[in-house]
Amino acid sequence: VLNVQTDQPGHEISPILWGIFFEEINHAGDGGLYAELIKNRALSPKRHGMNLDGYAVVKSEGVDGRIYLSTDHPLNSVLTTSLRLNVDNAVAAGQRIGVSNTGYWGIPTRPDYTVYNASFYAKAVGFTGPLTVQIESKDGSIVYATAQVPQITEEFQRYEVTLTPTPALIQNPSIDNIFTITANGPLSADTSIFFNVISLFPPTFKNRPNGLRTDLAQKLADAKPSFFRFPGGNFLEGNTIEERFIWEETIGDIAQRPGHMGCWGLLHRWDSIAPEEMQPYIDSALNEIEYIIGNTSTTWGARRAADGHPEPFPLTYVEIGNEDFVSDDYDIRYPQFYDAIRARYPNLQIIATDYVNTRPVPIRDDHFYPGYGWFPNNHRLYDEAPRNGSKIFVGEYATIDNINWPPQANTASAADDAAFMTGMERNSDIVIMACYAPLFAHLNDLVWMPDGIYFDAAQSFATPAWWVQHLFSVIRGDTYIPTDSDANEGLPAEKIFHVASRKTDTNTLILKIVNTNTEDIMIDAVTLGGIGSTQGGTMTVLTGGRWDENDLQEPFRVSPKTQTFNVTSNSFSYNAPAFSLTILEIQL
């Protein structure tokens, strides 16, 4: 029996309970959510430790030339290194030489990528143009789109062209392509062409310039997240202090940004700053907050407006650090940031990453990455937590498949996540926010698994774990309804999990039932207390084979199915499928 005490409503469900956490990991942003298609766009001394990753010479047979990094023709004082193309022997008419870029494991063509915007800075010695800009197959046999820059000069200038692919050439998404900028013969042997900030964008989400990749951004928008945690995670701190997230270098003209070293796949060195040397870092944090929410009469608020966003961004919560339980002196540095932020921005709510004695912890960020069983066994973790202490933000969590390799999320791990989420929703008077992590992974750079959404250069899919996130987020009530059940009796461990809520404006009862068992479990009676009859509603079920995953070939193998729920009685039986999440939306 599963009793739903519809007539005994409890606390408010946190209205911001389900959100998202974006961290630059697995090429989540660079080659991922950020729609830029050119790998290693800005050649900067800071970025990639200065290499030509992604670039190659493209040339007709028999033509001699090379590319290399050159510091004698800098674009500006920030991007001091250029990509230099040198023609070594004269190039005859009808031949070509230039530079190609592979993109992030392929330049994508897709039927919906109907136009691309390409741009770059270039100058030349011994050459005045034209330059041919193309998207072509790796072997050059198919030219999907072509455009020309008629003339270039001896000074760096920005050139922009649109590339319109021939629709008949693109039936399906493809990644076996490159981007090229070439010069056609005749060319003399002393020709040099210099490039920097080479950029290629497909159509972006909401057509925003410099914007987001459509399929990935749409998956996030579809999940209707209530908040956005950014920028990390360990990415915030970098491998070294110099490689930390320096927010001031991430804004403004892209040709004036020095770039940033990623921290994944390298060694996180756990460097620290002495407490008496923290002031510049505190000032930087205060400036960052001012950039986000300061009005336009402030220095950084004005800068935000100049960057195109006069309205402040909605910022409510500021977290000090990340996973600082590894550091023995968080208790010293937390107060330094806490006091400064509280003094300047008393309305902001502060999140600590660990227990602290020296100052209050309004909200604590808990992270969990367990193997199978831990989430189901600990779904009551917050049931007994003090109600007058810190609120909880579960800022990262995911079941790690500790049985199969690679540990991509499957039906079973998604069910474990869902079991814990019933506990978070039940306790959402103190668990005010939660977000799955990591959010994204490029299939060619899996430095951390599992992840919510996977993609290659052209296509993407949501994992079963992401569908759980999606469903918990899009189907939410506002008022907790207590439930109890004897469905676990006789089982070696709890396998059935449940949480209910009411959506007041539509008078809908929402009942979420999770089964983490290897077999179906029949609940003989789901009883709705205090209710005569209902108007029925819908039933959404996410289930699949135990180890079933989604992939590019079958992106919806494990995905939710919604059907009408015709039952109008206040008591009905329900057979919860093995490894499943069921959500009933019943019209009262």
Q: What is the contact surface with ligand AHR in residues (CB under 6 A)?
A: 23, 25, 232-234, 322-323, 367, 396, 437-438, 448
Find the DSSP H helices in 204-264. Answer: 214-222
Q: 40 and 53 in contact (C-beta within 8 Å)?
A: yes
Tokens of 137: 């197959």
- Please identify, using beta-carbon distances, which residue of 462 and 539 lies nearer to ligand AHR: 462
**Separation in Å, CA 128 to CA 151, 275, 509:** 6, 56, 70
Q: How far is the CB of 348 from ligand AHR (least distance, A)?
A: 21
Q: How far is the CB of 241 from ligand AHR (least distance, A)?
A: 17
- Please identify, using beta-carbon distances, which residue of 234 and 256 lies nearer to ligand AHR: 234
- Please identify, using beta-carbon distances, which residue of 24 and 136 lies nearer to ligand AHR: 24
State how far the Cα of 334 lies from the Cα of 316, in Å rounded to an integer: 18
Q: How far is the CB of 454 from ligand AHR (least distance, A)?
A: 15
- Please identify, using beta-carbon distances, which residue of 450 and 537 lies nearer to ligand AHR: 450
Q: How many residues does the chain have?
A: 588
Q: How far is the CB of 446 from ligand AHR (least distance, A)?
A: 12
- At residue 498's C-alpha, the angle toward residues 497 and 500, to 5°, is 170
Longest alpha-carbon distance in the chain: 89
Beta bridge partners of 485: 2
- Please identify, using beta-carbon distances, which residue of 109 and 322 lies nearer to ligand AHR: 322
Tokens of 334: 């937390």
User: Please, which residues have CB within 8 angstroms of residue 168's CB and are 6 or more apart in sequence?
Assistant: none
CB-nearest residue to ligand AHR = 233
- Please identify, using beta-carbon distances, which residue of 437 and 584 lies nearer to ligand AHR: 437
Residue 577 gets which letter from DSSP?
A: P
Beta bridge partners of 125: 192
Q: How far is the CB of 21 from ligand AHR (least distance, A)?
A: 8
Burial annotation 375-399 (CB, 10 A radius, 16+ → b, else e): bbbebebbeeeeeeebbbbbbbbbb
Within 10 angstroms of residue 423's Cβ, the number of other Cβ atoms is 20
- Please identify, using beta-carbon distances, which residue of 118 and 363 lies nearer to ligand AHR: 363
- Please identify, using beta-carbon distances, which residue of 161 and 351 lies nearer to ligand AHR: 351
Radius of gyration of the CA atoms of the chain, in A? 27
Q: How far is the CB of 547 from ligand AHR (least distance, A)?
A: 23
Q: How far is the CB of 448 from ligand AHR (least distance, A)?
A: 5
Q: How far is the CB of 268 from ligand AHR (least distance, A)?
A: 9
- Please identify, using beta-carbon distances, which residue of 28 and 145 lies nearer to ligand AHR: 28
Q: 581 and 539 in contact (C-beta within 8 Å)?
A: no
State how far the Cα of 140 lies from the Cα of 152, in Å rounded to an integer: 24
- Please identify, using beta-carbon distances, which residue of 116 and 454 lies nearer to ligand AHR: 454
- Please identify, using beta-carbon distances, which residue of 20 and 152 lies nearer to ligand AHR: 20
Q: 475 and 385 in contact (C-beta within 8 Å)?
A: no
Amino acid at 28: A
Q: Are strands 55-59 and 192-201 parallel, antiparallel or unpaired?
A: unpaired
Q: How far is the CB of 231 from ligand AHR (least distance, A)?
A: 10
State how far the Cα of 305 lies from the Cα of 295, in Å rounded to an integer: 9
State how far the Cα of 221 lies from the Cα of 561, in Å rounded to an integer: 20
Beta bridge partners of 462: 453
Comparing CA positions, the residue from 6, 521, 473 lying closest to residue 228 is 473
Please count the CA atoms within 13 angstroms of the CA of 552 that sit on its side-chain side: 15
State how far the Cα of 83 lies from the Cα of 76, in Å rounded to an integer: 13
- At residue 175's C-alpha, the angle toward residues 169 and 178, to 5°, is 85
Q: How far is the CB of 323 from ligand AHR (least distance, A)?
A: 5
Q: How far is the CB of 210 from ligand AHR (least distance, A)?
A: 25
Q: How far is the CB of 363 from ligand AHR (least distance, A)?
A: 16
- Please identify, using beta-carbon distances, which residue of 19 and 438 lies nearer to ligand AHR: 438
